[in-house]
Amino acid sequence: MLCPAGGWIIYGDDFDTITWVDDRPRCTKKQFTDGFDQYEVWKAQQDAIQAAVKATAQAKLAALGLTVEDLQALGLGGD
């Protein structure tokens, strides 16, 4: 969540076990610690975004007279 592009390896859940493997921006120890408190809000936001994307896709399918099941029957995926 704090460094989504990667560039690190962590062993456990302690900041001091992070091994930075490149020069990408790093989070601070305070950001890392605060991140545990922020995670639930961040996760809820991500879930809401995914739900909105899914609803939009389903609305577009409906406008075309299709359902997710129609796409699955055609082997085109859909969830």
14 is a domain residue? no
The pTM for the full model equals: 0.58
Q: Are 24 and 7 in contact (CB under 8 A)?
A: yes
Q: Taking all residues of the chain, what is their mean pLDDT, rounded to a whole number?
A: 87
Residue range(s) defining the domain that contains residue 50: 29-79
**Does the pLDDT value for residue 11 go beyond 80?**
yes
75 is a domain residue? yes
pLDDT tens per residue across span 39-61: 899 999 999 999 999 899 889 98
Q: Are 52 and 60 in contact (CB under 8 A)?
A: no
Mean pLDDT across the stretch 28-32?
A: 90
58 is a domain residue? yes
Nearest C-alpha neighbor of 29 from the set 20, 67, 21, 47: 20
Domain count, the chain: 1
Mean pLDDT across the stretch 8-19?
A: 88
DSSP string, 9-42: E-SSS-GGG-EE-SSS----HHHHHHHHHHHHHH
**Does the pLDDT value for residue 79 go beyond 70?**
no
16 is a domain residue? no
22 is a domain residue? no
51 is a domain residue? yes
**Does the pLDDT value for residue 32 go beyond 70?**
yes
CA distance 43 to 46: 5
57 is a domain residue? yes
